[in-house]
Amino acid sequence: MKKFFLLLILLVFGTKIRAQPYFFPLKISDNKRFITDSQGMPFLYVSDAAWQLFVGLPLPEVREYFAMRKKQGFSVIHVQLTYVPLAGAENLAGQLPFENFDFAKPNEQYFQHIDQVVALADSFNLVMAMTPLWYSCCNDGWGSNPVKYMKNNGLEKCAGFGRFIGTRYGKFGNVIWIIGGDNDPHENRAEVQALAEGIKAAAPQHLLTYHAASTHSSTDVWGQETWLDFSMIYTYFRGFLKAWNTVQPDVYESAYTEYQKKRMPFVLGESAYEGEHNEGYGSSLQARKQAYYTMLAGGCGHSYGSRFWAVAENKARGGEDWRKTVYQPAANSLIHLNRLFATFAWPTLVPDQASALIVGGPNPFAANDYALAAYTQDRTLALAYIPSGRKLTFNLGILRGAKVVASWYNPRNGEKKEIGQFATNQPVTLVTPDENDWVLHLVSKK
């Protein structure tokens, strides 16, 4: 069955996967390993954390923002449908999402603006991944809050709000839902479940996932719920001291664990944001690491974040122009990942957890400088992401054929330079071109 599925991908899509345009709504692949568009084309989930978009930018600036992110190769926008109450729930017109925070009394004018933004995103072929009621890690959301908004509204109102937004946005194909938000369900588990089931009942064509607390994935905190379509992993890296839990696995560790569950597709839902904290925590290199680590460890997409996520708060404080937060080095370089993955059938990648390809020089596992690899199921192509300059030894014998063509791919600018051809019957040692991050591209020679 697996061989048949691989052949089907190669016959239909050849050696290349078209990146766009996508046709909505999105679906889950038959083998439960990746997301597709409505025509079965694999969907590369590349999201931007734009959590405050609905309350932070007027429509003309939203259009400008969408155009920027589209040019950079993003396919999904993460946004809070109803902004968290203690941080300022009003939109730019001073409208609240609910009357007296009553989920049964949504404000029509508030949601009319969101209708316009979702329709605009559709015109850009962008998916809106919306969190209905952001739970929050920090006592300022709809779930994590001393006011107990979800408990006070109760099961029926949570379910009713789910049906309301499912019905309202069911006409849009470019919508998926992120339940939760930076936390596990805890004492609001029943209310969260009611919300999700309400959405799914009204909009069964929309995909749903859950954004859990850092170090947890969707499938860590939920069982076999019928509304959960794909999983999100959420972590930083070992040595990251800015999260509530300072023991953070690296992204590839969490991705390996999720891949082994074989339950459903998964994406990196959140990790370090470019430009936040300090250079080590929020560097452009770290943002690229997260993307390549996820994709080579079994994921079908990754999420990027910058200071743009707090666009409403930045404006209120008179902070920097939001446009500067959008054009960051890593954000500009992520399109090169898209272009690389568009050259082959990336859904057939198998993570090389046994380190069969890199047999020397990957650096210690469970560290934020680890080099890792993946190869296609037919073993005609392999990629290795090396986050810093070093000498490595590769066992090319894992690939099919007597020889392979090896090239260096620069993830910062997309340039590719062929190294040469090598026999597969003996190991080869290579040195990265410089001290930056690099991708080794190996293709079997026919």
Whole-angstrom distance, CA of residue 442 vs CA of residue 382: 5
Q: Domain 352-444: which topology?
A: Immunoglobulin-like (2.60.40)
Question: Is residue 81 over pLDDT 70?
Answer: yes
**pLDDT for position 90:** 87
Question: Is residue 87 over pLDDT 60?
Answer: no
pLDDT grade for 373, boundaries at 50, 70 and 90: very high
For the ranges 217-221, 238-242, 334-338, 359-363, the lowest mean pLDDT is seen at 238-242
Antiparallel, parallel or unpaired: β 231-234 and 301-304: unpaired
**pLDDT for position 446:** 77
Q: What are the residues whose beta carbons fall under 8 Å from the beta carbon of 91, sequence distance 6 or more?
A: 54, 55, 83, 110, 113
Domain ranges of the chain: 15-341, 352-444
pLDDT grade for 7, boundaries at 50, 70 and 90: very low
Residue 157 tokens, joined:
């109102």
- The phi and psi torsions of 323 (rounded to 5 degrees) equal -65, -30
**pLDDT for position 212:** 98
Spell out the alpha helix ranges (H) of 72-148.
108-123
**Residues 136 and 183 sit within 8 Å (Cβ to Cβ):** yes
pLDDT tens per residue across span 151-171: 999 999 999 999 999 999 999
Question: Is residue 222 over pLDDT 70?
Answer: yes
Q: Which residue has the higher pLDDT, 314 or 72?
A: 72
- The CA-to-CA distance between both ends of the chain, in Å, stands at 26
pLDDT grade for 10, boundaries at 50, 70 and 90: very low
Q: What are the residues whose beta carbons fall under 8 Å from the beta carbon of 328, sequence distance 6 or more?
A: 274, 275, 284, 287, 306
**Alpha carbon 75 to chain centroid, angstroms:** 10
How confident is the model over 78-95, as a mean pLDDT?
Answer: 82
pLDDT tens per residue across span 390-437: 999 999 999 999 999 999 999 999 999 999 999 999 999 999 999 999
Whole-angstrom distance, CA of residue 341 vs CA of residue 47: 16
pLDDT grade for 20, boundaries at 50, 70 and 90: low
When the pLDDT of each residue in the chain is averaged and rounded to a whole number, the result is 93
CA–CA distances in Å: residue 13 to residues 46, 105, 295:
20, 48, 19
For the ranges 15-24, 50-59, 98-107, the lowest mean pLDDT is seen at 15-24
Whole-angstrom distance, CA of residue 150 vs CA of residue 277: 31
**pLDDT for position 275:** 92
Our CA angle for 291, 292, 294, nearest 5°, is 70
Question: Is residue 296 over pLDDT 50?
Answer: yes
Question: Is residue 15 over pLDDT 60?
Answer: no
Question: Is residue 99 over pLDDT 90?
Answer: yes
Question: Is residue 89 over pLDDT 90?
Answer: no
Strand 175-180: give its sheet, edge to edge. 208-211, 175-180, 127-131, 76-80, 45-49, 301-304
Best CA proximity match to 315, nearest among 118, 124, 90: 90
Question: Is residue 2 over pLDDT 90?
Answer: no
Question: Is residue 17 over pLDDT 60?
Answer: no
**pLDDT for position 16:** 46
Look-up of token digits 């994590």? 144
Our CA angle for 416, 19, 382, nearest 5°, is 45
Question: Is residue 119 over pLDDT 80?
Answer: yes
**pLDDT for position 12:** 42
pLDDT tens per residue across span 247-266: 899 999 999 999 999 999 99
**Residues 386 and 406 sit within 8 Å (Cβ to Cβ):** no
**pLDDT for position 243:** 80
pLDDT tens per residue across span 127-158: 999 999 999 998 889 999 999 999 999 999 99
Task: Give the burial class of 94: count Cβ atoms within 10 A of its Cβ; 0-12 exposed, 13-18 middle, 19 or more buried.
Answer: exposed
pLDDT grade for 45, boundaries at 50, 70 and 90: very high
Q: What are the residues whose beta carbons fall under 8 Å from the beta carbon of 1, sequence distance 6 or more?
A: none
Q: Report helix, strand or coil for 209.
A: strand
For residues 7, 12, 17 and 20, what is the CA-based torsion angle, rounded to 10 degrees? -150
pTM score > 0.85 for this model?
yes
**Residues 166 and 118 sit within 8 Å (Cβ to Cβ):** no
**pLDDT for position 172:** 98
Question: Is residue 380 over pLDDT 80?
Answer: yes
CA–CA distances in Å: residue 442 to residues 207, 288, 380, 396:
35, 20, 8, 9
For the ranges 11-20, 26-35, 79-88, 284-293, the lowest mean pLDDT is seen at 11-20
**pLDDT for position 3:** 42
CATH number of 15-341: 3.20.20.80
Whole-angstrom distance, CA of residue 51 vs CA of residue 308: 8
Q: What are the residues whose beta carbons fall under 8 Å from the beta carbon of 104, sequence distance 6 or more?
A: 153, 157, 160, 161
How confident is the model over 316-339, as a mean pLDDT?
Answer: 91
Best CA proximity match to 110, nearest among 125, 121, 124, 94: 94
